[in-house]
Amino acid sequence: MGKRVLANLDVKGKKVLVRVDFNVPIEQEGVAAIASYDQRLRATLPTIEYLLEQGSRVILCSHLGRPGGKVMEAVRLAPVGDRLSALLERRVRSLRDCIGPEVEAAVKAMRPGEIVLLENLRFHAGEEKNDPAFARALAAPADCFVMDAFAVAHRAHASTVGVSKVLPSAMGLLMQREIESMGHALESPRRPLAALMGGAKVSDKILVLQNLLDRLDHLFIGGGMAVTFLRAQGHGTGASRFEADRVEFAKEVLARGQAGKIKLHLPQDLVVASQFDKEPPQVKTVPAAQVPEGWFVMDIGEKTAKQFSQELRGCKTIIWNGPMGVFEMPKFSQGTRSVAQAIAGLKGVTTVVGGGSTAEAVEELGLMDKMTHVSTGGGASLEFLEGKVLPGIAALPDA
């Protein structure tokens, strides 16, 4: 592991500041959506419950949305605290700020086994600036610190990096599980090892692919990424955008496949639409090399979904990052749905699902418990898979 874990931090009876990631889509979906998108809350329950068993006073802190250093009523954390209280079946007291005398007094009055949730960290500009003064103020009421917010471990903020320099610190159980699951898939996977890549852009995944290519046995490409690969093959892609500056990279990957260095799987058929809209006038399935002029690639076709699902059955470790189509539009979610259900049904296979839109799709489909590990971090999981050192991990003390 290399970094101190929770079991090696003295938390018994202590006031423990825990950085969690409760950044749920409250801005886009409203308060009612919290119960539907509570994966990040559920994922941190083991750490909270461990601390409660130790008689700790648990001080939770998180950001929510992008308030830009100003107080915004729409992104207060109290509704998230209410949902957490329901999940834990015990009271979670939400405070109206995250630093200052009132916070310190509230924490001082806490009894063992009690929980408070501090207000949105990003109401203060010092959070994203990693301001040492803000980090000290945040740390002031606590005896020690637990970093359990993998989803923001790639951000060098006061609550992810600065506090670790002030308080005795360790990673939480969620962080530990994230690092072990993805690290094992990268460094010592059971083979064959496959990567299933989707989402909108090659550029979002190019560093991941560069880090994985020499390790992979199979590479599956879907989603908007496939458009650039089709272009690299010399095929037309209709009105769908392709990344001109990534075509050469796509050609390099194709050449590796042709040389037998990796088994490359590209779409055979695609679902296309006459407009990029959730209810376009016309929708049809076409061979991948025959996207009509002016039409948009929206999803992989049924033939491709079946082929991907069949080939994935022969793999022992699968890293999946990115939907197979425009999953947020129900008409174009079938490719992602089919592949997700196929992966969920595999026995004896290690399945590591990246965060962000991929995790949201798996959560929406009710398949969370069918996967070995579903990451809580979108950008963080990508950077980890790229082989980067994440600041929120690097800041923690060595084991």
Positions marked active-site: 40, 201, 356, 379
The answer to whether the CB of 131 falls within 8 A of the CB of 112 is: no
Token pair of 41 as six digits: 């809350």
The C-alpha atoms of residue 12 and residue 283 are separated, in whole angstroms, by 60
